[in-house]
Chains A and B, each alone.
Chain A
Amino acid sequence: MAELIKGETGAWEMVIGLEVHAQVIANSKLFSGASAVFGADPNSQVSLVDAAMPGMLPVLNEHCVEQAVRTGLGLNAAINKVSVFERKNYFYPDLPQGYQISQYLYPIVGKGFIEIDMPDGTSRTIGITRLHLEQDAGKSMHDQHPTKSYVDLNRSGCALMEIVSEPDLRSGDEVVAYLNKLRMILRYLGTCDGNMEEGSMRCDVNLSLRRPGSPFGTRTEVKNVNSVKAAQQAIEYEAQRQLEILESGGSIKQETRLWDPAKLETRSLRSKEDAHDYRYFPDPDLLPLKLTDELIERIRKTLPELPDQKKHRFMEQYGLTAYDAGVLIAEQNRAEYFETVAKSSDPKLAANWVQNELLGRLNKEGMSLDDSPVKAPALAGLLKLIADNTISGKIAKDVFAEMFTNGGDAAAIVEAKGLRQVTDTGAIEKVINEVIAENPDNVAAFKGGKDKLFGFFVGQVMKKSGGKANPDIVNELLKKKLS
Chain B
Amino acid sequence: MTIDNATVTKIANLARIRVEEGEKAKYAAQIGGIMQWIEQLNAVNTDGVEPLASVMDITLPLRRDVVTDGDKQPEILANAPEATSGFFAVPKIVE
Query: Which chain A residues have a beta carbon within 8 Å of chain B's beta carbons?
Result: 26-28, 32-35, 41-49, 51, 59-65, 89, 91-93, 140-142, 144-153, 258, 269-271, 274, 277, 279, 282, 286-290
Contact = CB atoms under 8 A, between A and B. Distances in A.
B63 A149 contact: no
Contacts of B95: 258, 269-271
Interface residues of B, number: 38
Nearest to A66: B65
B45 interface: no
Given A33-B63, A91-B16, A288-B53, A45 B71 contact: yes
A43 B14 contact: no
B62 interface: yes
Contacts of A27: 65-67
Given A59-B62, A274-B10, A287-B59, A33 B92 contact: no
B84 A34 contact: no
Interface string B58-78: 111111111111111101110
B87 A42 contact: yes
Interface centre among B13, B67, B95 (most CB of A within 10 A): B67
Interface of B: 10, 13-14, 16, 53-54, 58-73, 75-77, 82, 84-95
A142 B70 contact: no
Given A33-B67, A62-B65, A93-B93, A46 B72 contact: yes
Contacts of B76: 43, 46, 48, 51, 153
B65 A277 contact: no
B62 A47 contact: no
Contacts of B92: 142, 145-149
B65 A43 contact: no
Nearest to B50: A82
A286 B54 CA distance: 10
Contact of B88 (A43, A45, A65): A43
Contacts of B85: 42, 150
Contacts of A64: 65
B58 A92 contact: no
B14 A279 contact: yes
B62 A41 contact: no
A62 B87 contact: no
Contacts of B88: 43, 93, 150-153
Interface centre among B53, B63, B89 (most CB of A within 10 A): B63
Given A61-B62, A91-B16, A142-B93, A43 B87 contact: yes
Interface centre among B67, B82, B88, B89 (most CB of A within 10 A): B88
B60 A33 contact: no
B57 to A, nearest CB: 11
A450 to B, nearest CB: 71
A259 B95 CA distance: 13
Contact of B65 (A28, A145, A288): A28
16 contacts: A27-B65, A43-B76, A43-B77, A44-B86, A45-B70, A45-B71, A48-B76, A51-B76, A60-B60, A62-B63, A93-B90, A140-B93, A147-B91, A149-B93, A152-B88, A287-B59
A89 B93 contact: no
Given A59-B61, A151-B88, A44 B70 contact: yes
Contacts of A89: 14
Contacts of B58: 287
Contacts of B62: 59-62, 65
A92 B94 CA distance: 11
Contacts of A59: 61-63
A74 to B, nearest CB: 19
Contacts of A274: 10, 13-14
Contacts of A153: 76, 88
Nearest to A31: B63
Given A27-B67, A41-B73, A149-B91, A290 B86 contact: no
Nearest to A282: B53
Contacts of B63: 33, 59-62
